[in-house]
Amino acid sequence: MASVLSACLVLYHCGEEIDYALRCIQNADIEVTVYLCDNSPEEITAERLTWLFPGVIVLPQPKNVGFGRANNAVLPMLESKYHLIMNPDVSFDPALLRRMVVYMDEHPNIAVLTPRVLNEDGSEQYLPKKRISVHYLLGGLLEGFGGIFARWRRDFTMADMDVQKPTPVEFATGCFLLIRTDVFRHLQGFDPRFFLYQEDSDLSRRVLEQRLGSIIYHPDFCITHRWSRENTRTFRGRIRQICSVCKYFLKWGISW
């Protein structure tokens, strides 16, 4: 019998942090079918995890095929009602997944549910919640200079809004999003043209453009994200970011 909830995590040079993520799923008070899409087949991480967490389903990839393509590998296997996409550097309370599923059951108009994201010290990790545009991206790149750039970034992340209740947003972070499986299947998953970065922006936009339901940010659902942003600090990471942004604007048009 298929479980109500499935989850997919992409393995790529993961340290022991993924053990904490899988333990959170294991300790959840709801049954979860867990898929591990292995983008680093040269390592033994997947083999080790199958010993530690019996029942996880490993989908080995021939190489690093990117975040979106790896997540799409589960599509032919999904039989769940809801599907969780999450990073291996995420942790959460055992009751969280059941609470989110119950909330989705009670609100059939919601296609995607996205949580409040916290740093390890409990402070808020302000992630984008609006549709990407040139000035929002400049705000994220140059917010350290303050002034208008910092204001643009705060607007992009809704940091100045006291969001205390479920709120419709235009962006669901790929680090942790709960989506209806039939919606994910209808969209055929992530657009494989995005190797890394902006695949979540594109998925969010397709959900809304195709009127498949709303994207709701719910501040009562909290996760902890150990976000180092190491990829964005490397030359290769910056190039991938720029390429993904260009692909996004070529697909959707440039918006200031």
What confidence tens digit (pLDDT) does each residue in 90-116 have? 999 999 999 999 999 999 999 999 999
**Phi-psi domain of 103 (left: phi exceeds 0; alpha: psi -120 through 50; beta: other):** alpha
The candidate with the shortest Cα–Cα distance to 185, out of 54, 100, 82, is 82
Q: How would DSSP label each residue in 101-146?
A: HHHHHH-TTEEEEEEEEE-TTS-B-----S---HHHHHHHHHGGG-
CA distance 235 to 217: 32
CA distance 29 to 98: 6
Sign of the dihedral through C-alpha 232, 66, 97, 50: negative
Task: Supply 237's token pair.
Answer: 């990471």
pLDDT tens digits, 104-163: 999 999 999 999 999 999 998 988 888 898 888 888 777 788 888 888 888 888 888 888
Q: Is residue 227 over pLDDT 80?
A: no
What domains, with CATH codes, occur in the chain?
Answer: 5-252 (3.90.550.10)
CA angle 205–208–214, rounded 5-degree value: 125
Residue with tokens 């969209």: 187
CA distance 78 to 33: 9
pLDDT at 147: 87
Average of per-residue pLDDT values in the chain:
90
* pLDDT band (50, 70, 90) for residue 2: low
The amino acid that residue 148 corresponds to is I
Q: Is residue 1 over pLDDT 80?
A: no
Least confident of 63-77, 122-136, 171-185: 122-136
CA angle 75–2–62, rounded 5-degree value: 30
Rounded alpha-carbon distances, angstroms, from residue 168 to 104, 198, 240, 248: 14, 19, 29, 22
**Is pLDDT larger for residue 232 or for residue 144?**
144
